[in-house]
Structure 1
Amino acid sequence: MPGARAGGVPPERTEETGPWVEKLWSAAASGDEYAALDTVRSALASGLDTETVLLDVIGAVQHRVGVEWAANRMSVADEHAATAINDRAIASLPPHRIPDRANGRVTVACVDGEWHALPARLLAEVLRLRGWHVDYLGAQVPSPHLITHLHRTGADVVALSGSLPTRLPTAHAAITACQAVGASVIVGGAAFGPGGRYAGRLGVQGWAPDARSAADLLSAGLAAPGAAHQVTDDLPHLSDQEYTLVKRSARQLVRHTFSALAERFPAMAAYDEEQRERTAEDLAHIVDFLCAALYVDDVGLFTGFLAWTADILTARGVPAASLLPSIDLLEEQLRDFPRTRDLLAHGHRALTEKIAADGTGQGKPV
């Protein structure tokens, strides 16, 4: 269940799938739904099986959509249009066979707050192809509604997809609730870190890097969930309350940092409304990822986000060094929190080293 943008590992190209990937990419990138559907039908007619078309053609194109957006070669509107075309291509595939009751019932859903649903849908379609009874709930499923669904259907397994690490606390709560009603949980997507490094910390029964691996894992069988537990049983470092306190003050941190930037950098007075909104949004993202890193106690989550953001800004003509003043201001406000201060110091150092290595210059604050 790779992330809907550039997350996850791209499917490997072969001589069989490569030409179809290029044709579907051309259609999706140009917004030509008719050409896209014709490409999918032709790929099936050429002898490719449905799972291969789903994962190694449509999935490969969706991964490229994310890469092109990150490199600023595709607008948000174009990305959405291409994703919608890929979703329509999935819907055009032949009907699936009747579920095999011996396989069991799986609920596939996105973590609450997660809008990138296509990876989860790819998994749902693959599981149906393999004979599972699948309930696909789509994007942004609130945990209480997910649990109500499990009570009603008695699903054996829940497969949760997420692309944003900022949703990890919400995902953890959902995982714990699903296990409490007797369902095993498998997760996937960029939210759970490289190699699924955060999945294990959240106490799941399985993690998979992509839909094919997830289907194989389910076929092999998952362990039943253990006794009911609290989130601090999985993450004992949360007992220091730093995550809770910083999370509760997130809005205040963003407001104060924004105001301090305006005072420290008079050039902000010339920002138009859109620039000011983007600056506030970027500050909110920094604080959100800081909180997520506190939650799983992982420096790499925060430094990885800063490196990714630096690349995104550079691709859009904004110097990566513009992130540094915001980190400094946050550190000044959070000096009484040891783990938080340590994360910010690591982030500042990692970003400074990246800027030096990339040769990016100073610029306006983010």
Structure 2
Amino acid sequence: MEDATDDLVPLDWDQVEARAARGDTSHLRELGARLADRREAAAEQAREYGRHLAHVVRVLALTRGRDSLTQLLRLLDEKQASTGLHPRFVASLLAEHQEPADLAAVVFDRPHTDRLDELRGCLFHELILRGVDIDDFRPLRTWTIVRPGWSALAWLPDQLRAMETAVDFPGRSLRGSARGGGSGLPTEGRMDPPTPRTSRRSALQDVATTAVHTSIVAAPEAGDWGNHGAWVFRLDEAIAPKRVPALLPTLPMPCVDGLGPTARFEIAARPVDEIWRLLFATASMGGMYGEGVHGAYGRLWAWRSMAGLSGTAEGASAEDVERHANQSTWFHFEADAEWFHNDVCADYGIAALSPDRRRLAVLAATDTD
């Protein structure tokens, strides 16, 4: 195929090289241009197939009943690599629209010889987040025994914890979706420091290790937020929670650089479940231009951020993270510093004071269009 006119015949590379040897480079340029056009047309056709395939999967996932579930699982098992859809997305759709009893019977109660364990792992935690008690369904109880140990999700608790009870989910239909816009700083628990605040900067230094920093920013990193940062400070002495609002704007953090003594700095004490809810929404639903990592992995990365903020040791159990989180004092703040964009529900800061009141960890995240 010297001129690439027949799609069924492969291009003869020997002839291409012979043309070049004879100096017929203009022919090669024209040939390259035609191939580039065909490649772009084929890529667009592949994208179109992908859009159609994604819609078929969506329709099967959202059509209630065991028959549609059975057909969807057959499709995913046979063509999973070709669908281009991550199992965590499909699991989120299923948990939103299918009955737990049907999901337990069809998805979990079947021979584990297919390639759908990642789907099952994600669906398991999607159901937990929606309040399903796994003890009510034998296949779900069995999954905790037979699930693969390599999955990062296996670290998570098998029951919904008290701090996870306030959870936001997106709503999806056959051709659309909607998600909550988050929540700004509440009026309850406000501890705004009086103005003018001191312009003197604190001498404390950030002592966050790479591992701790990575842990703290896990949720906004997973949610693909525009910018985020984390800092940890060892205090010279134990301080009462009421001193934190005045201390935060003075710390050496880019998120408060340039904040004048009268510029807006608002802060509220928050219960641990509201902090977890904010982190979960950040990871699961993502930033303005992303869809996040959905429920199961949103749960995982919210816990990771809580671990880093609360000072839980690396590699600790979920029970240890929960204990440290419950014993910490939590704050939610916003500021008119240049680092933030101050778009509604697209900027926040979190601070955690340790139980001994000698460690202060901070996470700041911002996302804007």
TM-score, normalization by structure 2: 0.27
Indicate the structure with greater helix content.
1
TM-score, normalization by structure 1: 0.27
Indicate the structure with greater strand content.
2
Larger CA Rg, structure 1 vs 2: 2
Which is bigger in relative contact order (C-alpha 8 A, separation at least 6)? 2
